[in-house]
Amino acid sequence: MKKDHPLRIQARENPPHWAGETIRPWDEALFSSLEPFKTRAYWTDQGSINVYRVVGTQHPDYAGRSWSWFLEGGKRMEHNLALLERNPGYYANTEPKRPSMYYVSMDGTDWYVGADGNHRTCIARFLFAETGRTMLHGVHLTDYRFDHELHRLYHRLRELAFMADPGIRVSSVNHAVGRDDTPGWKLDHFEPRIRFVDPAEDINALLDADGARRTIGWLREERGRRGWFRRRRRA
C-alpha cells in the first residue's frame, strides 16, 4: 500500500499555484532543426538551477502530466520519497548529486529534465515551496544557443532556390571554432554558415547572415527576369 507521505499531504492541502501546470515535452524536432545553427554549447557537472524554471522533460512518460499528478503517481516516486526521509539534506547540499541529475535548455531560461532526475525535480519543487528555497545545486547543465536569424534565412533561401532551380543546393555548415574550459565545465563556440551552390552560375559560396540576405535579394531579382527562366530551361 502506498504510504501517504507528508510532502504529498502538504501538497494536497496547500497546493502551490503551479501544481496543476503541465510538464512540457522537449521539442526534439525544433532542436534538430536549430542544432546545425548553434553558436554556443555550455556544459557543467557542478551547476545550480532554479527548479521553478524546469518546465518540462525529455521523458515521454511524464511529459503532458501535471506536477501534482507526478508527485502522486510517478513510477519511482515511492522510492525517491523514501530516500528523502533517509537523507533530508540531500536537496539542500551543494555537492554533485549522486546519481546525477541532468538538465538541458535551448535558451537558458526554460529547462528540461534530461537523462535522469525527473522524480527528484518534482520533489524539489514541492519541498522548496515549503522551505522558500529555489536553487538546486550540483547538477549537470547543458545550455545551447543558436543563430535564429541565420536559421530563418536558411529556410527562406531553400524555398526561393527550389522555386528558381532545383539544381541549386542549399545546406547548413557548422564548425567548432573554440572552447573555454576548466575542470567541471566547458563552453564550446561554433560558427554556423549556409553553403549555397549554383552550378549554372558557377557559384559555391559560404554565407553568413548578410551574405544570405544578399543572395535572397539576388534570387528574387533573377526570378523577375525573363532571361532567368529561358536560361534555366535551356540548361
Whole-number Å distance between alpha carbons of 55 and 23:
6
What Cα–Cα distance (Å) separates residue 108 from each residue in 11, 49, 185? 28, 10, 16
Which CA distances in Å does 123 have to 31, 78, 88, 99, 163?
A: 27, 11, 11, 15, 53
Note the CATH number of domain 34-144: 3.90.1530
When the pLDDT of each residue in the chain is averaged and rounded to a whole number, the result is 93
Residue 108 CB contacts under 8 Å (≥ 6 apart), including other chains: 143, 145
Q: pLDDT tens digits for 56-103? A: 999 999 999 999 999 999 999 999 999 999 998 999 999 999 999 999
In angstroms, the CA 95 to CA 109 distance is 23
**C-alpha cell, 109:** 531560461
Across 135-168, b (16+ Cβ under 10 Å) vs e yields ebebbbbbbbbbbeebbebbeebbebbeebbeeb
Q: Give me the count of residues in the chain.
A: 235
Instruction: Classify residue 215 by its DSSP letter.
Output: H
How confident is the prediction along the chain (235 residues), in pLDDT tens digits per residue?
A: 456 899 999 999 999 999 999 999 999 999 999 999 999 999 999 999 999 999 999 999 999 999 999 999 999 999 999 999 999 899 999 999 999 999 999 999 999 999 999 999 999 999 999 999 999 999 999 999 999 999 999 999 999 998 888 899 999 999 999 999 999 999 999 999 999 999 988 999 999 999 999 999 988 887 665 445 444 444 4
Domain ranges of the chain: 34-144, 147-234
Strands 185-198 and 169-182: antiparallel
H-type helices in 14-55, by residue range?
28-34
**Grid coordinates of 34:** 536549430
Residue whose cell numbers read 542549399: 170
Which residue type sits at 12?
A: R
What are the strands, taking DSSP E only, across the chain?
24-25, 38-50, 54-57, 102-105, 111-113, 135-146, 169-182, 185-198, 203-207
